Amino acid sequence: MMYDPSHPGEVIKHDCIEASQLTVTDAADGLGVSRKALSELINCRSGVSPDMAIRLEKAGWGTADTWLRMQMQFDLWQARKKSGKLKVKRFEEAVHA
């Protein structure tokens, strides 16, 4: 069973930016993104894109694969919490001859 995973932005904020004693502005400059884009990510208002994952990897902050897996796990957890509201018809398994 999956646990309630952290948003990757929280991890980036604490384990990367704060651990490196960087300001958000300095981190954004180093990553080649706007301060607004990085702020939205670390405040959990946006997710890690493939482009951002590569930027984090190039900065020495983990691998792109790890960041994207973390984002997918977070997104899937959020979707599962809402899955009870989905109206889906269950199909019978196809019979193989």
* Per-residue pLDDT reduced to its tens digit, 23-35: 999 999 999 999 9
d(CA 19, CA 81): 31
Q: Identify the residue whose tokens are 């180093």.
A: 30
Local confidence band at 93 (pLDDT 50, 70, 90 cut-offs): confident
The per-residue pLDDT for range 47-82, each reduced to its tens digit, is 999 999 999 999 999 999 999 999 999 999 999 999
For 8-82, which CATH superfamily applies? Answer: lambda repressor-like DNA-binding domains (1.10.260.40)
Is the model's pLDDT at 92 over the cut of 90?
no
* Predicted local distance difference test score (pLDDT) of residue 8: 98
What secondary structure letter does DSSP report for 84? G
Residue 2 pLDDT exceeds 60 = no
Q: Which two tokens stand for residue 95?
A: 């019979």
